[in-house]
Structure 1
């Protein structure tokens, strides 16, 4: 009998009780494409799939893209497109930053599985095409500014070998300078009727919903200007905090180096670095 902490090599799917116990891990930094983060299969993303309590911290949504083994690639791409446009429009209308993660279980607390990606370029091309297909023409430039490029995060097995699988992540950043006081109506594809339908999506708990042709839509339009103003203030406050953080970092560098260009023994005899867990710390020198 195989132990639960070894990767299954038989090709048969494991039950939830047979999967290795995953560790908690942090997602890739928001709106960052140079971090170099890797995920490990069956680990758990340490973020809640819910709307945050402010307008700056990103909302997270997980999608596994299940039942794709026998599906046509065209159908998979259509499902991917629908989910991206829905999530992006919901973030833009709710003025909430957000990340949608494809290849992460949405019914198992954010367990990382990964999805097979044969051609990254196919997803990149699809993202560029779907904006014009799903968003009204007058808002395509706004959508392109808010929907960031795809981030392919490699998923390693428990033994740290690559299974050639990825988590695909897309960040949405609805800046006030782009969205202003607009709301965004999108086209969404209905699989059962095989037709297109208008929708106005907003963030709702751990997911999103369309409020098109509802009383909630009229209420939403009434508070949109106030919501946009709140998001603008939140952006300004966040920028001030970031600037203060950078200034404090420069002060620390100045103290350590004696206001010189390099760190050596000419200013202090000893430097002591204290870390709670040096094996997990990345040092950039």
Structure 2
């Protein structure tokens, strides 16, 4: 969901609904189907189980999860923090019976030291109180997992939902799949511009240098909880960072030139991508926040044979200045989910093995595509959307101008749908179209279907074949032009 999106779900467009569906884990095939059915915010609020199963083809499980997520979106969490909900348990409740599978939790907080039992069922959270008085109980709700933005992709139409949880931080795997590191940045984001930039650049350059030296792709995320010790939060939980000026974070990477040698800084600029700002959706608040992400792509053509050392920027509060230690740079590498220093006694071996790491990176780049299968373009669907404007039919009142090139023989067997279109003109850049291409095949279909009469008018020498189609008084005229200069379409 892009910046400026309406906070109220009923105002969402089809694209914004699709973005939200992805954040709650709906499979891409169902996201595309709902988008094709023009499901916007108003429709989303009225979706029923039967519709999802019969019209969209969803299984009962995913459909139930979607309905539950939609209902939670409408209700929103019941507390200001978004992590807890308060239950008022009536004093008449002595017990809860249900055939549903339950899990119970005993929490302190009952009157006179008596515990309060919390029972979770498939339908929600119910409570049983052992005292005779009504009591409010705080219960931590479960936090759902979510996937990160596709690596090295723009992400302008990608969003996160606050309090959802990313997978744990990761180390080097196969060099292509990125390792991940999280920084909450909650305190640092409240500092002034100079200190924010120094802190941001320090974390990015430390992580980036570690990835480049190990030849591994990576992403560092700011606005994601990085410690299990943060009370009330989960490791990897999305909280977001308030961003007043995006250029402040972009300009922070100007520290690169002061942190590296001249030759190294050019490589670092090429490997460290500019910051990307992924909006975080707050279900019950209009507060604007983002997860700031920086991708590292150490292509072997750039880093081959090199080991990078960095002088990290450090903000000194007493001087209100950023200081650098220029006397000696530090070499970092990724060890597990952290960036650690290569100590002096290990540096000789680290330099000696740089060729091995280069060879592994080259093999990884040659053997794997950088395109994630889940986000590959569906060109068939894209073409359908162009012709139908997202509807299930081709509008008869519209006329089309088609531009095409040489068809594969097997593709020519699937062009019968053209008969259902009002085609004004076809620019066909296949010089053999009237012999073995689209023009020839289309005329054969017309003869077989006996839907129209046709006439072929030829001229000379054109690199592009222009097929002009018109239906008037039951006749069908096709002109195949082959002149060096495009002539006016021949219409009858």
TM range (shorter): 0.7 to 0.9
Corresponding residue for residue 336 of structure 2: 205
1:43 to 164, 183, 192: 164
SS in 1 for 2:311: strand
Whether the 8 Å CA contact 2:311–2:324 is kept in 1: the answer is no
Q: CA deviation at 1:215?
A: 1.7
Q: How does 1:10-25 map to 2 (within 5 A)?
A: 21-25=142-146
1:102 match: 222
Change beyond 3 A, Cα 1:84–1:244: closer
Q: For the Cα contact (< 8 Å) 1:257–1:264, is it kept in 2?
A: no
* Post-superposition CA distance 1:109-132 (Å, at most 9, x none): 2000001100011111222x1221
The higher-RCO structure (CA 8 Å, 6+ apart) is 1
**Residue deviations 1:139-192, cap 9 Å, x none?**
122111111121100011134x54210000000000001111111111113567
TM-score scaled to structure 2, two decimals?
A: 0.46
Query: Of 200, 203, 206, which residue of structure 2 is paired with 1:86?
Result: 206
Q: Write out aligned runs for 1:102-251 (5 A).
A: 102-107=222-227, 108-127=234-253, 129-159=254-284, 162-190=286-314, 195-196=324-325, 198-212=329-343, 214-239=344-369
For residues 199 and 258 of structure 1, do their structure 2 counterparts lie closer, same or farther at Cα, with a shift above 3 Å needed? farther
For 1:27 and 1:76, the matched residues in 2 are separated by 24
Contact 1:180 1:228 in 2 (8 A): yes
Shift of residue 53, structure 1, vs aligned partner: 2.2
Structure 2: stretches of 5+ with no match in the other structure: 1-74, 83-137, 228-233, 384-407, 422-492
5+ residue gaps, structure 1, are 11-16, 267-285
Q: How many residues align?
A: 253
Q: Distance in 1 between matches of 2:240 and 2:374?
A: 35
1:268-283 matches, cutoff 5 A: none
Cα shift at 1:200: 0.6
Q: Distance in 2 between matches of 1:93 and 1:20?
A: 41
SS of the equivalent of 2:313 reads strand
Q: Residues 264 and 198 (structure 1 numbering): CA distance in 2 closer, same or farther, change over 3 Å?
A: farther
CA contact (8 A) 1:29 1:35 kept: no
Whose radius of gyration is greater, 1 or 2?
Answer: 2
Question: Is 55-64 or 18-27 further displaced after alignment?
Answer: 18-27
8 Å CA contact retained: 1:62, 1:100: yes
Instruction: Say which SS state the counterpart of residue 148 (structure 1) adopts.
Output: coil
The 10-residue stretch of structure 1 (31-40 or 188-197) with the greater mean CA deviation from structure 2: 188-197
- Whole-angstrom CA distance in 1 between matches of 2:373 and 2:292: 33
Asked if 2 retains the 8 angstrom alpha-carbon contact of 1:95 and 1:174, the reply is: yes
Gap change, CA 1:243 and 1:136, over 3 Å in 2: same
State the Cα RMSD in Å. Answer: 3.7
